[in-house]
Chain A
């Protein structure tokens, strides 16, 4: 990734949020016919330094404390707002992304922008730099909170458990020849791993390993067990059955070598890729098999939270 493509979370939010999401909706306004003297009361009471001038719902100008000070200096306290206000007001539309507001504050150096509806030009709010900061902080808090809940659901389980060594173990029973349900254990395992907060690519590799092993048990054996032992640093996937055993493990590892019966191939499996695929997915793999006794497959997938 090149430098200019990196966006900070804040920049991202300025694109995501709209002006209407952060603006103040309850706008204090003055009528053009009011005097500067009464404007003073409006500013003082509401502790604001400027306010839009509105006639029949439409924005017609903006008047600020600076204009008031000028009038004060020149002794024009009873002039009306319409004479002293700024007529050509820069505005923002309610549906503009916040980044436009940031740009306009930068460009004009104003303290506030009235916000109007794009359609009917009605004044719907007002926005200051402070509102932008508040809006972004609020959104960050919400996002952070959601992220926290999401992560906390289970992924902190290892931190919550007080022990010198923790291993969570999940076992699934696999029936022989039950093709309809074959693969169910692997998909259940994957969901469980994701709930534990295991990163997606690691959960996927563990699930592929489990799926291939599960298929082998369904197709070739009288049934067996799939076990996953999850530690903070690794997942151990084990598949255990009680026969018939693999005659030649090296040969079984060859791509395309398969002893699967025709019905299995018709169902889209038995291509002779299973064990090789397990080996490629796992960081470590070990198979022990005895003819007539059964097979014990162990595959370790290391957990790396960095990615």
Chain B
């Protein structure tokens, strides 16, 4: 799914990265808890969150996530936007709540990380 499709499905506003909307997102990850993203997200995902602080961008950067969508109409401040810009990310913002955002994307075929075993992660060979 391209970021452009995500944007349309979530009726979202592009905050930065409008030149990169053709990028593909392979998977969806949603959490307000960055600890969980650090533990379970996958590279190439789009991150949906209602949390707006610089840690969201840093977490995404560490996880090789290049697209973030803030839900519930949470508008990221300048510092967050600048940090995201420096890291070549696309930032969207939707007024939909988290559940509805995830539901719309999932219904259109964007999958999640699947069943999780809290004691393991599987991005290692």
Contact = CB atoms under 8 A, between A and B. Distances in A.
B111 interface: no
Interface of A: 179-184, 186-187, 190, 200-201, 204-205, 207-208, 211-212, 255-256, 267-274, 276-277, 280-281, 307
B61 interface: yes
Contacts of A212: 38
Interface stretch (B12-20, B21-29, B100-108, B117-125): B117-125
A268 B62 contact: no
Interface string B61-94: 1111000000000000001000000010000000
A208 to B, nearest CB: 6
Given A204-B123, A256-B118, 11 more contacts: A179-B55, A181-B54, A182-B58, A183-B54, A200-B64, A204-B43, A204-B64, A205-B123, A269-B34, A276-B118, A280-B39
Nearest to A276: B119
A131 to B, nearest CB: 32
Contacts of B56: 268
B121 A280 contact: yes
A277 to B, nearest CB: 5
B119 A255 contact: yes
Contacts of B49: 268
Contacts of A281: 121, 124
Contacts of B123: 201, 204-205
A269 B55 contact: yes
B71 to A, nearest CB: 14
15 contacts: A179-B55, A182-B58, A187-B58, A200-B43, A201-B123, A204-B64, A255-B119, A267-B51, A268-B32, A268-B35, A268-B49, A268-B56, A269-B33, A271-B36, A281-B124
A267 B53 contact: yes
A208 B62 contact: yes
Contact of B33 (A179, A271, A280): A271
A183 B125 contact: no
A273 B43 contact: no
Pick the 6 closest A-B CB pairs, nearest first: A271-B35, A183-B58, A268-B34, A207-B62, A280-B121, A268-B51
A277 B62 contact: no
A187 B124 CA distance: 20
Nearest to B121: A280
B45 to A, nearest CB: 12
A274 B118 contact: no
A168 B57 CA distance: 27
Nearest to A211: B62
B58 to A, nearest CB: 4
A255 B34 contact: no
Given A187-B62, A211-B58, A255-B119, A268 B33 contact: yes
A88 to B, nearest CB: 41
B83 to A, nearest CB: 9
Interface string B35-50: 1101100010000010
B61 A268 contact: no
Nearest to A266: B51
Contacts of B32: 268
Nearest to B61: A187
Contacts of A270: 35
Given A268-B32, A280-B120, A280-B121, A186 B62 contact: yes
Given A190-B61, A268-B32, A211 B38 contact: yes
